[in-house]
Homo-oligomer: A and B are copies of this chain.
Amino acid sequence: MKASSLRYLVHQGVTGIWKNRMMTFASFCILLVSLLMVGLASLTAINLTRIISGIEDKSEVVVVISDNATKENEKELEKHLKAIPNVHTISLYTKEEAWEGMLDSMTEEERAFFKYADENPLPDTYRLTVKDIEIMSDTTAQIETLDFVESTQSPTSFADVLISIRRIFSIIAVAVVSALVVVSLVIISNTTRASVFARRKEINIMKYVGATNAFIRIPFFVEGMIVGLVAAIGALLMTKFAYEGVYNIFSDDSVIWVIMGMKKLYSFKELLFPVSISYLAAGAVIGAVGTSISTGKHLKV
């Protein structure tokens, strides 16, 4: 195919956008909405994962060390603990630190009592964080078989909650995202099919004067791709707007973050590159493929 012909076909595609502005606008809207919704759902999912892993990092197993353990025994125990695959971090919390912490967390009245306590009854402990919260109970069982371990305290109920939350979130996210993807495809293919249907006479006539299928498809392809790219840019701007809005709300209310013990959300800047690439690629591919696939039916003349 000559360069001039290709230039002509691309030009046809570009002018087609205006000629079929009504249909084009519909495709544009649908693509924009789909990209926006799938994008926002994905961003939410990404951030939820980060938040949950933040909570995971904070959930500690307390290993109570026997009263009769010497410093050497404790060092020995630490080595054994470190050898357990699921153990992530490990830190010693002496009975003195524990005592301070306990006093700090008490009300004035309660504290009044402990002033008179003559001996610190609290034990030395190791505080562990785990890599995978879901197998925490196996890990604690393993720890309890070690020497000089008096007992372990793990936040089992809190872990259960976290696991449940993550399960629910992932089910909902997967359901929402996959529903949206399917729905977008149905709608886009319908709209482009409608657009092609409106131009079926034109396609028909082209076939009669000996046009090849490629000749007929290229303008549709170009048109679809441009619409897809523009929709992607629109969706990107709207995503930025929506995301930063939510981001600012959460940043302002720092109390929540402290209480929920979550890491901060990703900033939009951190996500800009992958999000832009995904949007533009998805927009162009869906637009171009969607449009040109639906021409197929009318090419059989």
Contacts and interface: CB of A to CB of B under 8 A. Distances in A.
A256 B162 CA distance: 9
A92 interface: no
A104 interface: no
A4 interface: no
B26 A190 contact: yes
A197 B198 contact: yes
Given A29-B187, A186-B29, A198-B197, A242 B109 contact: no
B256 A29 contact: no
Contacts of A187: 26, 29-30, 33, 187
Interface stretch (A75-83, A165-173, A217-225): A165-173
B26 A194 contact: yes
Contact of A191 (B158, B160, B191): B191
Interface stretch (A51-59, A114-122, A205-213, A264-272): A114-122
A113 B109 contact: no
Interface string A4-40: 0000000000000000001101100110010000000
Interface stretch (A226-234, A246-254, A273-281, A282-290): A246-254
Counting from the closest, the 9 A-B pairs by CB-CB distance are: A26-B190, A164-B253, A33-B183, A194-B194, A109-B121, A29-B186, A161-B256, A168-B249, A160-B255
